[in-house]
Chain A
């Protein structure tokens, strides 16, 4: 399962758990998650046709950040946390370096 798919699932299950709320802080939390999921999806779509060699890496960062935010919101709003897949073999921290080195220095 991709990070984006899992982020979407967590957003959805957290929403079903909360059901409805008039708390402005809870409401805006869902706004934040929705934006993160949608920007990751938009970057993934962009990577499909964009010639930049790091476009896919940019989409992966967005998806990974969306997943972390969704997981934190899940824990905060439901008291439970779904286990996330390990990223030890493909760490997020390297991806910023890959994107940055290409866009700052033209180095792949």
Chain B
């Protein structure tokens, strides 16, 4: 992978254009989504088309030449792409998170430089998470400052998108345990991206390892990412709403297939009916799935509004509110995606599990992606505010 895009990206100018482009791309991405999953064929050409469409630049603020779209729109875009192929929907997640981290913690010069790159079609990957650190929020990777450069050393995992990126934002802690992010060029000496993601779901996200062996970046390529959480900003909710949008997309895709295949199912012997689609229990089960999917979409849109408010007026209350509504979207999207992708088989019958349909990809993708952070702690987060008045902790998972 080169450190530069082959062609400059289109620049999207409005929310409506973003939705229109996403709808068109989703239709194209849906055609070979099953084959990509089955063969674990990495979506290299599809990503060029995706970022080249301008959709990876829609959150760049208007002041920097972007469309600065609403997060209702961002969620809708990711949802539509993910309904077609949730691996493609997940890959820009960290890119979009980094765009906001730049906005929150970058210098004016850094914003101009990197937002310009994003609008030109550069893709950010990520080397944030670590499989061996104490918990998801801690880094063993070190960043050490020396004059006008910084050096990064460490080992990362779950690095979604790094393999396909032009620039790999990499998180490391300084001596005081504060997190900084260095923007590492994809071909920088010492950076190795390892294609070793073999999870049973989200198979083509390339969410594998990255090693950093004495990687040097200039100070101009480092941002004090910890500031995005030291003070109240929308960054945590932004990171999370994209996760929720991916799972909402999986739920939509699974329900769509459930309807198609349930209508083709044979009638059960005891029903005395002529067609599977007349089955009263199937009909009611679809009714149950349908309201849950619509409810999830409605809360996802509300989460987008809450994120917009937190971005416009960041303070303890607006950021807490955004975290709370986004947490609702997380819970609902995770549960609905898992339910729809499992019920699909129950309603469609044994013929739906044959390999040619590859319908298990919906459940495999839902189960894998919803492990990003556990929904059980989102019930707690919301309840702790409702009952005890405790605001959510600020980090990239809230």
Contacts and interface: CB of A to CB of B under 8 A. Distances in A.
Task: Give the interface centre of B291, B378, B382 by most chain A CB atoms within 10 Å.
Answer: B291
Interface residues of A, number: 39
A35 B379 CA distance: 8
Contacts of B332: 35, 39
Contact of A99 (B287, B376, B382): B287
Contact of A42 (B282, B298, B378): B298
B259 A104 contact: yes
A96 B288 contact: yes
Contact of B380 (A18, A27, A95): A27
Contact of A100 (B288, B298, B299, B387): B288
A67 interface: no
A95 B295 CA distance: 15
Contacts of B331: 31, 35
Contact of A30 (B282, B284, B299, B387): B387
A83 B284 CA distance: 27
B386 interface: yes
B262 interface: yes
B384 interface: yes
Interface residues of B, number: 34
Given A43-B291, A62-B291, A105-B277, A32 B286 contact: no
B374 to A, nearest CB: 11
A86 interface: no
A32 B290 contact: no
A28 B378 CA distance: 8
A29 interface: yes
A61 B263 CA distance: 23
Contacts of A28: 376, 379-380, 383
Contacts of A34: 328, 382-383, 386
B386 to A, nearest CB: 5
Interface in B373-395: 376, 378-384, 386-388
B147 interface: no
A62 B287 CA distance: 11
Interface of A: 15, 18, 20-22, 24, 26-35, 38-40, 42-43, 45-46, 55, 58-59, 61-62, 93, 95-101, 103-105
25 contacts: A20-B388, A22-B388, A27-B380, A29-B379, A31-B331, A31-B379, A31-B382, A31-B383, A32-B379, A34-B328, A34-B386, A38-B299, A39-B295, A39-B298, A40-B295, A42-B302, A43-B291, A43-B295, A61-B291, A96-B284, A99-B286, A101-B283, A103-B290, A104-B262, A105-B277
Interface of B: 259, 262-263, 277, 280, 282-288, 290-291, 294-296, 298-299, 302, 328, 331-332, 376, 378-384, 386-388
Given A22-B388, A27-B387, A100-B288, 16 more contacts: A31-B379, A31-B382, A34-B383, A34-B386, A39-B296, A40-B295, A55-B294, A58-B290, A58-B294, A62-B291, A96-B283, A97-B280, A97-B284, A100-B287, A103-B259, A104-B286
